[in-house]
Structure 1
Amino acid sequence: MQTIPRDSSLDSTLDVVREGFPFIWNRVRGLHSDIFQIRLMGQRAICLHGPEAAQLFYEPARFVRTGAVPRRIQTTLMGQDAVQTKDGNEHRCRKDAFMSLMTPQSRQTLMQQLAREWQAAAEHWTGQQQIVLFNEVLEVLCRAACAWANVPLPEKDARHRAQDFWAMVDAFGGAGPRHWRGKRARTRTEDWIEGVIKKIRKGKLHVAADSPAHVMAGLRDADGDLLSARMAAIELINVVRPIVAIATYITFAAVALHEYPAYKGLLRTASDDYTEYFVQEVRRDFPFAPFLGARVREDFTWRGCDFKKGTLVLLDVYGLNHDPRLWPEPNVFWPDRFRNRPISPYDFIPQGGGHYSGHRCAGEWITIEALKQAVTFLNDGITYDVPAQDLRYDLTRMPTLPASGFLMRHVRITGQPAPTAVQTSACPFHH
């Protein structure tokens, strides 16, 4: 039986905090192994890297999510007992509801709403000397997501609701004030959305039958029982919150447009869908998720290594997207690498891997389409100046952003609206 290499630290918890996104990738290179073990918060954990490891990680017969997500993340990022923590029939019931919202027609409706919000925001920006793009995009996405979901959002509440959605995301890698801000934001948001669910169920709020609000208000468990209003609210938040979180990718895309201006012309003139190559490279190159967790369902052996029931297993996401064995010159921003590169469900996993029937992010299509729309609008729909600023991002901070949030000055509208019909061919794994 092969012995799994072990990290030298007695406990790696502080190393994760100190190193952030590349924690697993650093040890893959240092130990010369795609599998190694650590102690994390006092418990044994196995770290995995690579496409074969990702394929293993997404086998439901091998792993479960129950017990894998720390309570501190459930009470901020995703909500307690949410779909991401479920397995088997309970997961399938909820995931099917999420996937029902990802039809081409539904996504098109969201893109149309987003186009209106981009245009309205740009008109507001023209009256400002300077804006922080990240903060503005949070609000654009929040307004559009709530309108699409049929969640009423009073004008006076839009900015602080958008900030609350971000606070929940920002808390997942934070401690102290960041964590407490996320917990308070979650409580406020759950109270708000639970009220929406109750109004829908009582017939006091009428929403479209195919809308996210209606679908989640009617969500049932594997036994056919209606979920509590609180649980339905948590899942409706899990529709809206990830859309708001796309603001991180959009901000990084703006950085890429600024730092690699040669691509601006290609985005306008290339005969093929160069915008898709560009946004896929943004998703590969810039940090979004460091790693994912699961627990071993039953004892098994893989590559001669023993995996014991209940063991925590972490799959490297950031490192997989920067492995030179998969991505030549991985630290170079080069969209053309996606031109003729087939993508499997396991070798490019910025939002999780496997198939959409499992634990791969249901909103990946929306992320790609929203990014393509945003890149086109930033490149063609407006002009702006980029003042001197700190665009560095800290890989030890999870999640991370450019330090300045991307400052823009003297925004002007060109008259070219944001596209409302955005197609993607990058998500072939749904079945």
Structure 2
Amino acid sequence: MTQNEQTPQEHTLDNSLALLKDGYDFIFKRRREMDTDIFQTRLLGQKAICIGGKEAAELFYDTTKFKRSGAIPKRIQKSLFGVDAIQTLDGDAHRHRKMLFMSLMSRERLDVFMQLLAEEWEAAAGRWERLEELELFGESQELLYRAACRWAGVPVEEETARQRADDMGDMVEAFGAVGPRHAAGRRARRRIEDWLEGYILDLRAGEFKVPEDTAAYAMAFHRDLQDRELDARMAAIELINIVRPIVAIGRYVVFGAIALHEHPAYRAKLAADESKYRQWFVQETRRYYPFTPFLGASVIHDFTWQGHEFEEGTMVLLDIYGTTHDPKLWDEPDAFKPERFEHWGGSPFDLIPQGGGDHRGGHRCAGEWLTIDAMAVSLEYLANRLEYEVPAQDLGLSLSRMPALPESRFVMRSVRRKQGAGTVSGV
């Protein structure tokens, strides 16, 4: 193939530092400046094609054109996903492993998780009433960790619960970071992998018994396409890939709290029309706030798309944040408007804060529905079942910080449960 002269290009030796500086806005900023949904740049010393928008997302999730193997840098595998985990697989191996994850996400199992999460919110609220002040981010990570472990069949030890929740959070913190924050994430991963590898071995030896419909059992006794059990370390890594993403929902809990604080009129709407409006509010929180900046893949074979040439082995980045803020797809994309979802068509390629495509065979996040349910339960408490004060603090979100989080972690004071609110049995 000849060099693609039609694709806009950045003429620079390497744009890796600019990516760290611009963060979530790196691709979207250049798409706006060049008035294009595709451009070529250089990152980490190699050519990269950046794409964004609904049609680009449909292309990106075409598994005949792109693969994930080799596309995720080792530094991210060693902190966030785990080396050679499901996110790095393709073809039959990916589909087989994805079926394992999807088998854990039945409606029945999701309902069990929601009940456990509601119980953890109740317990946390009781603890918070004894505190003068707290940071919601750390507290929400811990309660999500406790609910995730109980649901997944992982023991929760009181003396280690907060540290292990923080370790799970540090793995997420390492994404997009260099220096101490990245190093902390790698150390946290080693600690958690060591712990859960030992637990997997104990399960196999019969030292512990867990229900067969839990993630711990599934990972411990899963058999690959060659009918072999997963290596104990890999089983631990995939078990982390169940618990860690649930802990990461703590960011969405904070984002929902910020949205309620900055748009207090929605409290009355949530109380008046709980189920429908709560769903809109959750989806708008996922769309509006920065969560995943972009995703990567590599080209399997040469092909042409809309006049642009893609060469085998080229790194391609899909603009996740920009697609969820694209004015071609969303009216007033920089405004927080839950009502926009009243008539939303439900495309798998426009609302992609955790990735797009098909849930079953593709690379779309297996835990997306669990995330939505967890946010709904959390929103019910923040909006309708708790009273609290929000002292003056900086709740701004810098797009250059990946992953995004307000510096204050959302401070709350004088938390009290509302009289007569009862408990949540499901949302």
Gaps of 5+ in 1: 423-431
Change (3 A) 1:417 1:96: farther
- Aligned pair 1:419/2:424, yes or no? yes
Equivalent residue for 1:12, pick from 8, 11, 15:
15
- The reply to whether residue 338 of structure 1 matches residue 328 of structure 2 is no
SS in 1 for 2:324: helix
Match of 2:207 among 204, 221, 224: 204
Contact 1:118 1:418 in 2 (8 A): no
User: Could you say what the CA RMSD is over the residues aligned between the two structures, in angstroms?
Assistant: 1.0
SS of the counterpart of 2:174? helix
SS at 1:293 equivalent: strand
One-letter code of the match for 1:274? Y
344-353 vs 411-420, greater mean Cα deviation = 411-420
TM-fit CA distance, 1:419: 2.6
Instruction: Tell me if the contact between 1:130 and 1:410 (Cα under 8 Å) persists in the aligned partners.
Output: yes
Deviations 1:273-317 (A, max 9, x none): 100000111001100000000000111111111111110000000
- Who is 2:190 aligned against? 187
Q: Structure 2 matches for 1:18-417, cutoff 5 A? A: 18-270=21-273, 273-356=276-359, 357-414=361-418, 415-417=420-422
Render the CA deviation track for 1:368-404: whole Å, top value 9, x for unaligned.
0000111111111110011111111111010011111
| Separation of aligned partners in 2, 1:156 and 1:325 | 50
Q: Is the 8 A contact 1:299 1:306 kept in 2?
A: yes
- For the residues of structure 1 that align with 2:410 and 2:12, how far apart are their CA atoms? 37
Say if 1:10 and 1:39, in contact at 8 Å, map to a contact too.
yes
Report the residue type matching 2:22 in the other structure. E
What SS class does the counterpart of residue 38 from structure 1 fall into?
strand
The one-letter code sitting in structure 1 at the alignment partner of 2:384 is D
Instruction: Please report how far the alpha carbon of residue 223 of structure 1 lies from its aligned counterpart in structure 2 after TM superposition.
Output: 1.5
Letter in 2 for 1:21: Y
Whole-Å separation in 2 of the counterparts to 1:93 and 1:200: 22
Distance apart, 1:272 and its partner CA: 5.9
* Aligned partners of 1:216 and 1:232 also within 8 Å: yes
**Structure 1 counterpart of 2:251, which letter?**
T
Task: Please state how far the C-alpha of 1:325 moved relative to its aligned partner.
Answer: 1.1
Q: CA shift at 1:271, angstroms?
A: 7.1
SS in 2 for 1:412: strand
- Aligned residue type for 2:133: Q
Question: Residues of 1 paired with 2:76 and 2:342: CA distance?
Answer: 37
Which TM-score applies when normalising by structure 1? 0.96
Q: Which residue identity is paired with 2:105?
A: M
Q: Distance in 2 between matches of 1:418 and 1:104?
A: 21
Q: Please give the per-residue CA displacement for 1:231-253, whole angstroms capped at 9, x wherever unaligned.
A: 00000000000000000001010
**SS at structure 2 position matched to 1:107:** helix
Partners of 2:399 and 2:225 lie apart in 1 by 40
Q: Which residue of 2 aligns with 1:427?
A: none
Contact conserved, 1:128 with 1:410, CA < 8 A, in 2? yes
Counterpart Cα distance in 1 of 2:228 and 2:362: 22
TM-score, length of structure 2 as denominator length: 0.97
Q: CA deviation at 1:2?
A: 5.5
1:331 & 1:417 partners in 2: Cα distance?
36
Q: Distance in 2 between matches of 1:70 and 1:96?
A: 25
Tell me if the contact between 1:115 and 1:417 (Cα under 8 Å) persists in the aligned partners.
no
Give the Cα–Cα distance (whole angstroms) in 2 for the partners of residues 77 and 117 of structure 1.
25
Deviation at 1:418, TM superposition (A): 4.9
Within 2, Cα distance between the matches of 1:8 and 1:298? 25
Q: Distance in 2 between matches of 1:420 and 1:288?
A: 28
The residue that corresponds to 1:428 in the other structure is none
- Would the aligned equivalents of 1:374 and 1:418 in 2 still touch at CA under 8 Å? no
Q: Is the 8 A contact 1:377 1:417 kept in 2?
A: no
Q: What is the CA deviation profile of residues 47-86 of structure 1, one whole-angstrom value per residue up to 9, with x for unaligned ones?
A: 0111111001001100000000000000000100000000
Whether the 8 Å contact between 1:133 and 1:405 is mirrored in structure 2 is yes
Moved over 6 A (4+): none
The range that moved more, 410-419 or 250-259, is 410-419
Does the CA-based 8 Å contact 1:93-1:220 persist in structure 2?
no
